[in-house]
């Protein structure tokens, strides 16, 4: 496995996911560009290390934790808001990549088991990156996204009261669903891509609906 190739193509995935998250929640891409390049490289090294150590099953969980810590510390948002941001980006990327895999399998580009650090895997990563950047561009052009999360938002006990409690419970459930979906894809020789895409789509629609309601309350 070529370290340079793996880090480069893997970084594209993380970079495009971070761009989408920043645009979706209306943070400045320009101000955070150098930071997301750095964290993208770091996450790629983490992924490479876990694959070489044959610990690919727990890699998604570790990466999500690093995602959360990074956004909480650098973007200065509270725990709940950082989970919302990471979960949204993670599910959208998972949905986009799963759909691309399904299309590639249908047209014969992918035939058999999909393995990391192969030409097909690199093509998939580049395609997923472009798709995420296009979505980010469209989101920015049409002034989409949510504004209820602000930089330096603080965490308080009030976050767990009232209607927020149900929202937080759903976030935790959706996070577990996302992690399990990744494990299913990694552990199966012939992953059920259509089923995984359907589950992620439902989770994403519910998350967007709940987020829009929160956004309306803030406005």
Write out the E strands in 43-186: none
Report the pLDDT averaged over residues 186-200: 78
According to the per-residue pLDDT averaged within each range, which of 101-105, 168-172, 207-211 is highest? 101-105
Q: How confident is the model at residue 216 (pLDDT cuts 50, 70, 90)?
A: low
Report the pLDDT averaged over residues 17-33: 90
Say whether pTM exceeds 0.85: no
In this structure, of 57-61, 117-121, 160-164, the range with the lowest mean pLDDT score is 160-164
Cβ pair 145, 21 in contact under 8 A: no
Q: Is the pLDDT of residue 154 over 60?
A: no
Q: How does the average pLDDT of the chain come out, rounded? A: 80
| Three-state helix/strand/coil letters over 84-120 | HHHHHHHHHHHHHHHHHHHHHHHHCCCCCCCCCCCHH
Q: Is the pLDDT of residue 113 over 80?
A: no
Q: Is the pLDDT of residue 9 over 60?
A: yes
Residue the block writes with tokens 């980006």: 89
Q: Is the pLDDT of residue 152 over 80?
A: no
Q: What was the pLDDT predicted at 155?
A: 44
Task: Provide the sign of the torsion angle of the four alpha carbons 161, 163, 169, 172, taken in this order.
Answer: negative
Q: Is the pLDDT of residue 10 over 60?
A: yes
Compare 2 and 214 and report the one with higher pLDDT: 2
Q: Could you state, in order of their start, the residue ranges of all structural domains in the chain?
A: 3-218
Q: How confident is the model at residue 219 (pLDDT cuts 50, 70, 90)?
A: low
Q: What was the pLDDT predicted at 169?
A: 78
- Encode pLDDT of 74-93 as tens digits: 888 888 788 888 888 888 88
Q: What was the pLDDT predicted at 157?
A: 47
Compare 164 and 202 and report the one with higher pLDDT: 202
Residue 120 buriedness (CB in 10 A; 0-12 / 13-18 / 19+):
middle
């Amino acid at each position: 496995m070529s370290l340079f190739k793996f880090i480069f193509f893997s970084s594209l995935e993380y970079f495009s996911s971070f761009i989408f998250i920043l645009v979706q929640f209306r943070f400045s891409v320009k101000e955070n560009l150098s930071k997301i390049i750095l964290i993208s490289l770091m996450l790629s090294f983490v992924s490479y290390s876990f694959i070489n150590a044959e610990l690919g099953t727990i890699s998604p969980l570790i990466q999500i934790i690093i995602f959360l810590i990074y956004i909480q510390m650098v973007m200065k948002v509270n725990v709940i808001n950082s989970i919302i941001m990471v979960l949204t980006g993670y599910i959208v990327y998972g949905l986009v990549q799963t759909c691309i895999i399904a299309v590639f399998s249908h047209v014969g580009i992918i035939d058999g088991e999909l393995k990391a650090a192969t030409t097909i895997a690199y093509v998939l990563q580049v395609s997923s990156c472009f798709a995420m950047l296009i979505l980010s561009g469209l989101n920015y052009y049409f002034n989409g996204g949510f504004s209820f999360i602000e930089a330096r938002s603080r965490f308080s006990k009030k976050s767990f009261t009232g209607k927020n409690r149900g929202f937080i419970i759903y976030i935790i459930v959706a996070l577990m669903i996302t992690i399990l979906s990744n494990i299913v894809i990694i552990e199966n020789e012939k992953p059920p891509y259509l089923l995984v895409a359907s589950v992620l789509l439902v989770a994403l629609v519910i998350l967007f609906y709940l987020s829009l309601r929160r956004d309306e309350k803030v406005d």
